[in-house]
Structure 1
């Protein structure tokens, strides 16, 4: 069963129609260009022995295509993907931007076509080959990544569910790298429920069911990350990023072949400047603040007793990912001194940070009240 974020049927009906129309336009363009060898090689997708050479997008001196070293950030919702992209966005050579929402949708459509043997056979009989679909899908993804924000030397996409398609993306983007955000599932689901983050298939009144859905979703993403391999997919634990941001960002930037820059440790200074936030994303009010410890253990004491007792059976991926399902509260580690200092600042100047958080959301009621010392 597909797991996708939802905002209601009208929204996804619109997104689905737009996505399909775009794909159709790309397929028509490729077919027309294929009528003449010159036009085909000059403008369209060049398909040779199963390899897709996509149309290039050039802006100034920067050229992007499916051979570009794009960065894909994903994971289950409420696992730190927005914090990760904000820290990356603070780097002068990188631009991620807000969630596009349409990229995971188009990948989901492709997965549905592929899973249905009858539908896939019909596509092949119609001349809509896998190579042709790859060309259309990567053209769509390229346009969205390149066009939905300002340009930078390195571009990245942050859509949580995009990493359900890590294997596919690793094939059509041979130079791309992936950051899979991992967070304690108990914290993730507590956040999903308390912040009322609607996700298809998740019953927000049932903690156990949500945790089981989290387990299935993260298992799929984790297995694909492992299959792609550590050279291209890096697992990033949210807790480690919060506790040790400097050492973690050093590892992440090295993995991505991006030079170190101190700005990644001070993303809050670039909110509203280099970093733009969506007023409808549920994490926007949190990432206006510096990296702090407040969200790590909010879930403790808020999980039903029967779920706590059977945690290891309900969510076996907790142990696979390095969490102790029986630790309540958990011990994630000792924070760095600079994190303690920033957390203290968030508390001392709670009202000021609260006002900044309210300014970046549509619904101020969802912003947590400041902790006054």
Structure 2
């Protein structure tokens, strides 16, 4: 428990490599011994080294544990080599974990990449805009790390999609690179990017727009992954994209084309989301108006959590409740990373408020009045998520009292009104 303790231990074991008389590496109390085996004399010499280790351990009162000792032959595996430690036969393995890395006898990365993509719990979600708020709310939770957008993953997943059909698929199959090798390599790439996007945490999260268009693909890469699909009123999304000049296609200012694109994406993601019980749909308006209720459903779970449908999901992520998620603005400086180049980053420095929910129907809207009055009549996605019957201007439900108070206070804040 002291700084001096580890130093004294290192001094105590410092002469071990000399005693062994063979190549070795020592990391704390973890020891690796190796020797090229070209003849029987080499094998005998290695066994003598193990016997010297036993004698040294007894002298230093540092007993070794034969049950945790393994040996691995790099190259072609052989079954005729037997080594003993403390009179017990060492276990022969073809793969072992060493300081966080899974090592194979042939030095290939297959076992390690398999271990990496199977262990990760990922939360990936999309729905063009307004995902930054939930990203920040999750990121301030002590068990969740949800870094900024990578801007790389959607392009990677689109590329992987191209290799899943036609000539590209046939060529990979002929080279024995499809499907498992392709998905293992892709998952390792995805994991590496998400790992580098922030500090370690039990639950890692990615928030790249359009990622959820690849739910089926990501489920193969990350079997334990969970997906959060955030949906906002498509009319509000369209207005926001025009107002903030978000370039998602060659047509920036055509409301109907942007809205149609929103419908297509949401329809695609909704279909993939409905195919698995590991996908949870959250309405952005619910998150803003009733964050306490919505975040409780999203975070905490009990043994009775069985229904995974919209509005009925209780505790989708199954992590302990922490009220800090309702006060993200107080923890952002120390707890979360905000990329100032993301257009929506400046909007999450304030407490949750309702000021912008229905701005798409106001006099300051960038949408034509004819579009506002008629677009909901023929939209199956607005109908499905209950937006078509909200009225103009829309009524999305009552806000929690605290949200109403925060909104009133912000309306008096000159910096907020700028």
* Whole-angstrom distance in 1 between the partners of 2:76 and 2:113: 17
Note the alpha carbon deviations across 1:247-284, whole angstroms, 9 max, x for none: 10000002101100010000011222211111111110
Matched with 2:128 is 77
Verify the 8 A CA contact 1:300 1:328 in the aligned structure 2.
Answer: yes
Match of 1:234, SS? strand
Runs of 4+ in 1 over 4 A off after TM superposition: 34-38, 40-43
CA shift, 1:40, in A, is 6.1
Matched with 1:145 is 194
CA shift, 1:55, in A, is 4.9
Which runs of structure 2 are paired with 1:129-168 in the superposition (5 Å)? 129-168=178-217
Matched with 2:231 is 182
Residue 44, structure 1, aligned to residue 104, structure 2: no
- Equivalent of 1:206 in 254, 258, 266: 254
- Equivalent of 2:295 in 249, 253, 259: 249
Which runs of structure 2 are paired with 1:1-373 in the superposition (5 Å)? 38=94, 39=104, 44-46=109-111, 54-56=113-115, 65-72=117-124, 74-78=125-129, 80-115=130-165, 117-200=166-249, 203-229=251-277, 232-253=278-299, 254-301=315-362, 302=365, 303-312=367-376, 315-324=379-388, 327-351=391-415, 354=416, 369-370=417-418
**Cα 1:133/1:321, change in 2 over 3 Å:** same
CA shift, 1:131, in A, is 0.8
* Whole-angstrom distance in 2 between the partners of 1:326 and 1:45: 52
* Whole-angstrom distance in 2 between the partners of 1:36 and 1:295: 65
Structure with the greater relative contact order (CA < 8 A, sep ≥ 6): 1 or 2? 1
CA shift, 1:350, in A, is 3.3
What CA RMSD, in Å, does the superposition of the two structures yield over aligned residues?
Answer: 2.1
**Cα 1:309/1:338, change in 2 over 3 Å:** closer
CA shift, 1:35, in A, is 7.9
Q: How many residues align?
A: 302
CA shift, 1:41, in A, is 7.3
Normalising by structure 2, report the TM-score: 0.68
CA shift, 1:42, in A, is 6.4
Normalising by structure 1, report the TM-score: 0.76
The answer for unaligned runs of 5 or more in structure 1 is 1-33, 47-52, 57-63, 355-368
Verify the 8 A CA contact 1:187 1:297 in the aligned structure 2.
Answer: yes
Verify the 8 A CA contact 1:212 1:314 in the aligned structure 2.
Answer: no
The answer for unaligned runs of 5 or more in structure 2 is 1-73, 78-93, 95-103, 300-314
